[in-house]
Amino acid sequence: MLSRRNPQLNANGELIHLLSIEGLPRAVITQILDTAGTFLSVSERDVKKVPLLRGKSVFNLFFENSTRTRTTFEIAAKRLSADVINLDIARSSTAKGESLLDTIANLSAMHADMFVVRHAESGAPYLIAQHVAPHVHVINAGDGRHAHPTQGLLDMYTIRHFKGDFTQLSVAIVGDIVHSRVARSDIHALTTLGVPDIRAVGPKTLVPGDLAGMGVRVCHDMAEGIRDADVIIMLRLQNERMSGAMLPSAGEYFKRFGLTADKLALAKPDAIVMHPGPINRGVEIDSSVADGRASVILPQVTFGIAVRMAVMSTIAGNEA
Amino acid sequence: MTQTLNLDAEALYAALRDGVRRLLAERPDAALVGIWSGGAWLAGRLQADLGLPGEAGTITSALHRDDFGERGMATGAGATKLPFAIEGRHIVLVDDVLFTGRTIRAVVNELYDFGRPASVALAVLVDRGGRQLPIEPAFAAARVALAPGQRLRLVQTEGGRLTFDVKERT
C-alpha cells in the first residue's frame, strides 16, 4: 500500500518531487526561497548559466497549454545547463489514445531525469511521481484546481523580497478563488509561513463561505477585503467562468471587484499588488494599477525563473 | 597529535597580510575576492588593513561544485557578490584552508561567469596538502600535513578574532 508519508519527501525529509505546497515543512519552503536568492544573480551575469544539471534531461509535459509557464520552466532548466525537451502532448500521443502512465513509461525509457507536468486533472503529477524510477523527479506545473506550487513559491519569494517578515502581514487574495490552484497554493504557503491575516475576496459564487476552513477570512465586499492590506494578490478572471452563469458580466465584475486606484487607496500606503498573469486589463485590474507604483507583477516573472531553478536544483540533488 | 593544534590563526593572518601586500605590489590594480565563508572574512579584513578602496568581493563554490550529484544543493553557502567588473582585472583569491583544490576549481569557473580576468592568483592561510588538481597558491602563510580524515576550519569568534577548529571527519 502507499505509505502515509508525504510522497514529496524522502526518508530524511528532503524534497524529491514538488507536487503541492500543502504539507511542506516551513524549513523546506524557506530553504527553496534562500536558494532562489542565489540564482537570482545568475540571470544578471555575463554567462547566465551554471552547470548543476549538466547532462540531465528535463521533459516538459504540458497536457494543458500554457506557453508562458512552460517557457519559464524551460529557461530555468536551461540556465541550470539541462537539456530540455518540450512535448506538445495535447496534440500527440494522448490524442492517439495512449494512457498517461504509458506515456511516462515511454519517456522514462528515453532516460528522462525530470518531468515538469501540467495537467487538467487534479492529482496527475502524484500519479506520475508514484510510478517513476527513484532517480526521476516530478514537478507539478499546475494540476486542475488543485495546486500550482511553483507559482505559490514565487509569490512567497516576491512577498519576502518586498515585505521581509511574514508574521505581521495582511494578505488579500481577490477573485476566482474556488477555481484557482494559484490561490490554494498561496493560502497553504502563507499559512505555513505564519501570515496571521489571509483574506479571500470575491463574489459568493467564486468565494464560497466554506473556504474559511482553510484558515482564511472570507470577504464578499472588496473594500472590506483589501482595507489595510500589505499585499493584494489579484487572480485572473477566467473567461470560461463568465459563460457558466457564475458572474453577471465582465463590466459588473470590474465595478465590484476590479482593482482600481480608488480601491487600492484603501490598502496600506506601501501595499504591493501581485498577479500570476496573464492579466486582463479592465476586467480584474485597471491599467493604472497594473502599470502603477504598487505593481510588482513583472518582478514576479523575474523571480519565477530563480524560484524554478531553486526547485529543480534542490530536488535533483536529493535521492528518493 | 598533529601540529594543527599549534596553528595560531592571528599570527598566520599577519603573515598572510604581508604576503598579499607583496602580491598586490606586483599587480597594482588587483582586486581581492574572498571564498565563502572563511576566505570572505579574511578578504574583508585584508581590504581594510591594506587600505584598499571599496569592498572586497565574495565568491561561493556552490553553483560549480563537482560533488552536486552526491551531496545535492549546498545550502547556506552564501552568494557571490563582486562589486567590480571582472573583465580584464587582476584577481587575488583569498581562502582560509587549501586542500584538494576542488573548491578553487569551482570558484575559478564561477569567476569566469562574470567575465575574463587578466590573471587569477591564490593566497591562503594554510595549505594542508592533499591536492587532487593542479592548483598551487601564490602565497601560503603555513604548510602543514594533515590526515585526510581531519577537517580544518577557520572560525570567527565574537569580536572578530580568528581561530582554527579541527575535527575528525565523520
Give, for B69, the enclosing helix (H) or strand (E): helix B68-71
H helical segments located in chain A: 26-40, 67-79, 100-109, 124-131, 149-163, 181-192, 222-226, 239-243, 250-257, 261-264, 287-290, 297-316
pLDDT of residue B147: 85
Q: Tell me which of A13-17, A141-145, A316-320 is least confident.
A: A316-320
List Cβ neighbours of B62 (8 Å cut-off, separation of 6 or more): A38, B73, B74, B77, B78
pLDDT of residue B4: 44
Q: What angle do CA A119, A183, A78 make, to 5 degrees?
A: 55
pLDDT of residue B157: 84
User: What is the tens place of the pLDDT at every residue in A59-111?
Assistant: 999 998 888 899 999 999 999 999 999 987 776 666 677 888 999 999 999 99
- Residue B37's closest CA among B81, B1, B67, B6? B81
Question: Cβ contact (<8 Å) for B113 and A46?
Answer: yes
Best of B36, B61, B63, B75 to mutate (most A CBs within 10 Å, chain A): B63
d(CA A90, CA A100): 11
Question: Cβ contact (<8 Å) for A50 and B73?
Answer: no
How large is the ipTM?
Answer: 0.71
Say what angle helices A149-163 and A181-192 make with each other, to 10 degrees.
Answer: 50
**pLDDT tier at A43 (50, 70, 90 boundaries)?**
confident
Is residue A267 over pLDDT 90? yes
List Cβ neighbours of A192 (8 Å cut-off, separation of 6 or more): A21, A24, A25, A26, A29
pLDDT of residue B170: 59
User: What is the tens place of the pLDDT at every residue in A211-264?
Assistant: 888 889 999 999 999 999 999 999 998 776 666 667 778 888 999 999 999 999
pLDDT of residue A277: 92
Q: What angle do CA A272, A277, A278 make, to 5 degrees?
A: 140
Mean pLDDT of A148-154: 98
* Residue whose entry in the numeric block shows the C-alpha cell 584552508: B97
Lookup: cell for A14: 528532503
Cβ contact A305:A2 at 8 Å: no
pLDDT of residue A245: 64
Mean pLDDT of A272-301: 96
Q: Tell me which of A23-37, A144-158, A237-251 is least confident.
A: A237-251
Question: How many A-B residue pairs are in contact by the CB < 8 A criterion?
Answer: 46
pLDDT of residue A164: 95
Report the Cα B134 to chain-centroid distance in Å.
16
Q: How far is A29 from chain B (nearest CA, A)?
A: 13
Per-position pLDDT tens, chain B of length 170 = 444 457 889 999 999 999 999 999 999 899 999 999 899 999 999 999 999 999 999 999 999 988 887 788 877 677 899 999 999 999 999 999 999 999 999 999 999 999 999 999 999 999 999 999 999 999 999 999 888 888 888 888 888 788 888 887 75
E strands present in B26-146: 31-35, 57-59, 90-98, 119-127, 139-143
Q: Which of A37, A46, A316 sits opposite B114 (nearest CB)?
A: A46
In A, which residues are within 8 Å of B64 by CB distance? Answer: 50-51
Residue B140 CB neighbours (<10 A): 21
Lookup: cell for B92: 587575488
Determine the length of chain B. 170
Average pLDDT, chain A: 92
- Residue B154's closest CA among B111, B110, B122, B124? B124
* Residue whose entry in the numeric block shows the C-alpha cell 537570482: A40
Q: Taking the model in full, what pTM does it have?
A: 0.87
